[in-house]
Amino acid sequence: MADFFKVLSEVSRLQIVCSLKTGTKNVTDIIECTGLGQANVSKHLKMLTQAGIVSRRQEGVCVYYQIANPFIFELCDLVCDSLSIQIDYQSKQFEALESIRQSR
């Protein structure tokens, strides 16, 4: 499980995963979506494929990548929702502290 989350902990890999949310893409399409370089995209796609997050299929000379299991987006949504709640809570704490500071 640690290795799985380690793969997802890199911003460029998350960008690639997000670019595949709309469907199957080849490396050129992923580069256009993410703005990452070709060597960088290829390196990260290899890691994502080895982790089972992305699958690939070859058609002639082209290789197409897609999300292997869409649950990855549910997982990302859960994490994002949790972080949003945490940030909102911290923001309210800062506002309360600021209110106390100003009332002195």
Cα separation, 99 vs 104, in Å, equals 9
pLDDT one-digit tens code per residue, 42-91: 999 999 999 999 999 999 999 999 999 989 989 888 988 899 999 999 99
pTM listed for this prediction: 0.80
The DSSP call for residue 55 is E
What is the pLDDT, as a whole number, of residue 101?
84
Residue 59, φ and ψ in degrees, nearest 5: -125, 100
Residue (of 21, 13, 22, 68) closest to 45 by Cα position: 13
- The angle at the Cα of 19, spanning 11 to 42, to the nearest 5 degrees, equals 65
Q: Which CA distances in Å does 27 have to 9, 19, 34, 55, 78?
A: 21, 11, 10, 13, 28
Whether the Cβ atoms of residue 33 and residue 65 lie closer than 8 Å to each other: no
